[in-house]
Structure 1
Amino acid sequence: MIELYYWGTPNGLKPRLMLEETGLEHRIVPVDIGKGEQFRPEFLAFAPNNRIPALIDRAPADGGEPVRLFESGAILQYLAEKTGRFLPADLRGRADVMQWLFWQVGGLGPMAGQNGHFRVYAPEPVPYAIERYTRETARLYGVLDRRLAGREFIAGDYSIADMACYPWIVPHAAHGQDLDDFPNIRRWFEAIRERPATRRAYAGVAEAYSPARKLSDAERGVLFGAKPAP
């Protein structure tokens, strides 16, 4: 049994997509980050960065003690290796998927996340930050759009690279991006959106970085003040 410690953020949804695609037996353990549940000692014991997602595999392939993981990219790689799916076995195919997984982890996610923060959650507008991160998000969209030219998915077949990137494209409107400007991303995005596993993963999930979402002062303090809820 796999336990996924999760909240409905783009990073949280990455391993949830993978679990839905593979059909691995799993249990979702909600971690309400607005209430500070990510600071609970029992969570920090295996997720020391106080961030979701985190995972416990109580039936690892080696038959040993449970495997505990934090960081969404590491979780995706682990699940791909456990199942033998969505990560090619050959040297070049694997390297191709892994470089795009790291591109998302090191680039698309952090830049789009800062974009969403300053456009939606900052207590007051910071024009320089909004312009800087909106422009960088657009640049990264351009990189992905060019990569998808003539390809159905990022690295040929559907892979953990696609599962890593898709949740960060979902809030494109809140990030100031128009998919009409990126036709290859739009085609790819719509194809993934219609996958049954994607529909299951996103069922009932509120849109991340939605301008309609209002944070309380307590939530703001927990999410952006790096401190537990009082």
Structure 2
Amino acid sequence: MSRLSDFPITSRWPAKNPDILQLYSLPTPNGVKVSIALEEIGLPYEAHLISFSNDDQMTPEFLSLNPNNKIPAIIDPDGPEGKPIGLFESGAILLYLAEKTGKLIPNDPVGLYKTIQWVMFQVGGIGPMFGQFGHFYKYAADKVANNPYPMERYTNEARRLLGVLEGQLMDSAFIMGDEYTIADIAIFPWVRGLSEGYNAAEHLGLSDFHAVNAWVERCASRPASIKGLEIPPRD
């Protein structure tokens, strides 16, 4: 593919400016990771709403970019060697944007890989486990009303993961110390979502995690986060 128009998704969600990065997303904990990163970096982009209520993620056009039918996904018209590239999976997109711009990631190899390990911690732990917790706590509570096992399992795992974060943040402003990185951007929307999205702060005892709560506030109050958390606007 040599032009943005060669991507079938652009026939359904046309680019106003085909020379800038195209974001296909929804303001969920996974979706806002990329919009927040783009706002922090200052890279021009257009955001296209992928509405789950309309099953946009199941359309042939969206599936042509992400066969796994999840948000977010991007097309960067100025990819490697100046050629367009389409990407899905939020963790991969964060790493791509950080490497492309040299921002939101340490320059030294040790810092680089330690940042990547915390991004993987979110991708493999925080996201799936918090997501399962939220599913059973908020969306499927009636289906497990007579079976306490799912809630016990995912409540305990969510608190365990929060404890890991608490230990990492006990003596530092951000995951990687004083430097705000893609590790923070990957994780904090999910932690924020426990209270803002699932209304589960009391159930999980979030007040026990003082360092985590202060860190979420620091991350969420950044100008790029305030804007990115609402992109793309819902219908």
Match of 1:160 in 2: 182
Q: Secondary structure at the match of 2:87?
A: strand
Provide the rounded CA distance (Å) in 2 between the counterparts of 1:96 and 1:34: 38
Structure 2 residues without counterparts, runs of 5 or longer = 1-19
C-alpha deviation, 1:201, in angstroms: 1.2
Q: Secondary structure at the match of 1:81?
A: helix
- Kept in 2, the 8 Å contact 1:119–1:125? The answer is no
Match of 2:17 in 1: none
Residue 68 of structure 2, aligned match among 41, 49, 72? 49
Match of 1:15 in 2: 34
Provide the rounded CA distance (Å) in 1 between the counterparts of 2:35 and 2:66: 17
Q: Secondary structure at the match of 1:28?
A: strand
C-alpha deviation, 1:34, in angstroms: 2.1
For residues 124 and 17 of structure 1, do their structure 2 counterparts lie closer, same or farther at Cα, with a shift above 3 Å needed?
Answer: same
Provide the rounded CA distance (Å) in 1 between the counterparts of 2:44 and 2:122: 27
Mean Cα deviation higher: 118-127 or 45-54: 118-127
Mean Cα deviation higher: 81-90 or 160-169: 81-90
Provide the rounded CA distance (Å) in 1 between the counterparts of 2:60 and 2:124: 28
Question: Partner amino acid for 1:111?
Answer: M
- Kept in 2, the 8 Å contact 1:60–1:67? The answer is yes
RMSD of aligned alpha carbons = 1.7
Residue 172 of structure 2, aligned match among 151, 158, 169? 151
TM-score, length-scaled by structure 1: 0.85
Q: Secondary structure at the match of 1:115?
A: helix
CA deviation vs aligned residue, 1:92-133 (integer Å, no higher than 9, x gap): 000110000000000001000000000111162422111110
Match of 1:122 in 2: 140
C-alpha deviation, 1:18, in angstroms: 0.1
Match of 1:86 in 2: 104
Q: Secondary structure at the match of 1:171?
A: helix
TM-score, length-scaled by structure 2: 0.83
Mean Cα deviation higher: 53-62 or 112-121: 53-62
Provide the rounded CA distance (Å) in 1 between the counterparts of 2:154 and 2:232: 25
C-alpha deviation, 1:42, in angstroms: 1.1
Map 1:191-202 onto structure 2 (within 5 A).
191-202=218-229
Match of 1:110 in 2: 128
Match of 1:38 in 2: 57
Are residues 1:75 and 2:96 paired?
no
Q: Secondary structure at the match of 2:23?
A: strand
- Kept in 1, the 8 Å contact 2:49–2:232? The answer is no
Provide the rounded CA distance (Å) in 2 between the counterparts of 1:123 and 1:200: 32
Provide the rounded CA distance (Å) in 2 between the counterparts of 1:112 and 1:136: 8
CA deviation vs aligned residue, 1:168-217 (integer Å, no higher than 9, x gap): 011223243333200110111111121001111124889xxxxxxxxxxx
Match of 1:29 in 2: 48
Question: Partner amino acid for 1:170?
Answer: R
CA deviation vs aligned residue, 1:5-34 (integer Å, no higher than 9, x gap): 001111001111101111110000110012
Runs of 4+ in 1 over 3 A off after TM superposition: 203-206
Q: Secondary structure at the match of 1:151?
A: coil
